[in-house]
Amino acid sequence: MEVYFDNSATTKVLEPVKDIVLKTMTEDYGNPSAKHKKGMEAEQYIKEAAETIANTLKVAPKEIVFTSGGSESNNMALIETAMANKRAGNHIISTGIEHASVYNPLSFLEEQGFSVTYLPVDSQGHISLKELEAAIRPETILVSIMYVNNEIGAVEPIEAISKVIKKKNPAIVFHVDGIQAYGKFVIRPKRQGIDLLSVSSHKIHGPKGVGFLYIDQNVKIRPLIYGGGQQRGMRSGTENVPGIAGFAVAAKIMYTDHSKKVQALMDLKDYMIERLKEIEGVTVNSCPGELSAPQIVSASFAGTRSEVLLHALEEKGIYVSSGSACSSNHPAVSGTLKGIGVKPELLDSTLRFSFGIFNTREEVDYCIDKLKELLPVLRRYQRG
C-alpha cells in the first residue's frame, strides 16, 4: 500500500487540472501577449482564471496577480510593500512561527534598515492580540501574519487581528500568508480586512510553479519583476498559461461542495489524532476539530529521530514530512515547535502528517499499524 500524507508540501493534481494543462500546452499554446487568434485564446484563459479565483474570494479580478508560487507572492508582498511605503515608516510586525518565505524576506528588509518585531505565540500557536496592539508604533507600515501554520496547523484569528491593526492605524498594510489556508477555509479579504493575500496552486491539487497575490486596489506596492508590462505592469513576463488555467480549475473544484470537502479532511485529522494517542510516547502538537486546520497533524515521537522514522515509514510506502519541504534540505530546529513549547528532547523527533482529498481512513489505519510496528524497534536501536 502507498500512503501519501505530505499534502502540505504538495498535492497530486486532479484529473480535470491535468486535462486543461495538457490542452493549453499542446493545443491552445499561444503567447497571451500576441495579437493573433492563438494569443487571444491564451489571454482568455488568464482572464477567466482571474475571474474564477477572484470569485472564490469575492474580490475584483484586477486585484489578482499571478506569480510563480507562494514564495514569490510572499516576497513581493513584503519587500515591495515595505519599499513602496518606507517614507511613511520603517517598522514591520510578524510572528516567530512564519514560513521561511516570509522570515527570510523580513531578514533582508532588516538589512535594508527596517525594524521587525516578531510576536511570540502560545502553546497552541496563537499570537496575543494585546501584544500585537502594544507592538504597533507610529512608524509601523506593515503587519504579516500567516493564516494557517504549515507545521502544526494553528489558525490565527485573522479578522480580529485586522481589527486591532486598523483601529490603531488604518494605513498599516495587513499581509496574510494564506498558502495553507486557501482551499480549506472560506476567505473573504474585504470582510476580514486582508490587504494582501499569498496563495500557491500546488497545495490545492493544482500545478506547481504558479500562485497568486491578492492586492487590494488601495494598497501601495511596487512590482517585483519589470519587463513587458504584463498583468497591468504588476508582474511582467509571459504568463504561465497552463499553470494559471490549471490553478483556476483546481480552485473551482475545491470551492465546490467546499464544506463537505473540509469536513472530510477534519474527520480524517481527528481520526489520526485519536489513533496516534494509542501509541506510547507520542505527543500530538495539533489541536482537534476547528481549533486547528483540517489537513495537518503534528506529532512528536519520544526516543527516535524524525529523519530515521520518516525513512522507516518510507520503506513501508508511507510518505510524511519532518518539517517544511521548502527548507527540508537545510535542517534546523523548528521555530514553530520551539515557539509552542515542545520539549527540547522532542524537537528532533517530530513528524507532520498532512491530508488531501484523496486520503482515506484505511490509510490512517495502515500508517498507525506501521508506526506501532516500527517505533519499538527504532527506539531499541537508538538506545543501543
The type of residue at 204 is I
Distance CA 301, CA 186 (A): 33
Distances, alpha carbon 63 to alpha carbons 51, 57, 170, 334, in Å: 10, 10, 19, 34
**Distance of alpha carbon 334 from alpha carbon 340, whole angstroms:** 10
Active-site residue, from 326, 347, 368, 378: 326
Task: Please report the DSSP string for 327-349 in residue order.
Answer: GTTS----HHHHHTT--GGGTTS
DSSP assignment of 86-123, as one string?
TTT--EEEEETT--HHHHHHHHHHHHTT-EEEEE---T
Residues forming a β-bridge with 351: 299
For residue 19, which of 28, 11, 31 has the smallest C-alpha distance? 28
Q: At what angle do helices 241-254 and 37-57 cross, to 10 degrees?
A: 30
- What is the Cα gyration radius of the chain? 21
Is 287 designated active site? no
Would you mind telling me the total number of residues written for the chain in this entry?
384
Distance CA(186)–CA(287), nearest Å, equals 20
φ, ψ for residue 241 (rounded to 5)?
-60, -50
Residues taking part in catalysis: 326
